[in-house]
Structure 1
Amino acid sequence: MQTLVFTTNPGSVDTGATVVEDENATGTDGCYFNGSPFAPVTRVSGGTWTVGVPDTSDPDGSGTVLTANQWGPDTVGYSDTLATYYFINGAKLGKLPCGFHFYQNLTITCPNQTPIVFDINVNLTDTITSGGGQSCREGACGPVIPL
Structure 2
Amino acid sequence: MATGLLTSDTSNQIVTTARTAIGDSLRSVTYFTRDDYEQLYLRDDLERDADLSTFIGHEWRGFTTAQTAYEGSELGDYNYTIRVFDNGFLIRVTNDREGVLVTTDGLTLKDFEEVATALNTYLEERALD
Larger helix percent: 2
TM over 0.5: no
* Structure ranking higher in strand proportion: 1
Structure number with bigger Rg: 1
TM-score (norm 2): 0.31
State TM-score, norm by structure 1: 0.29
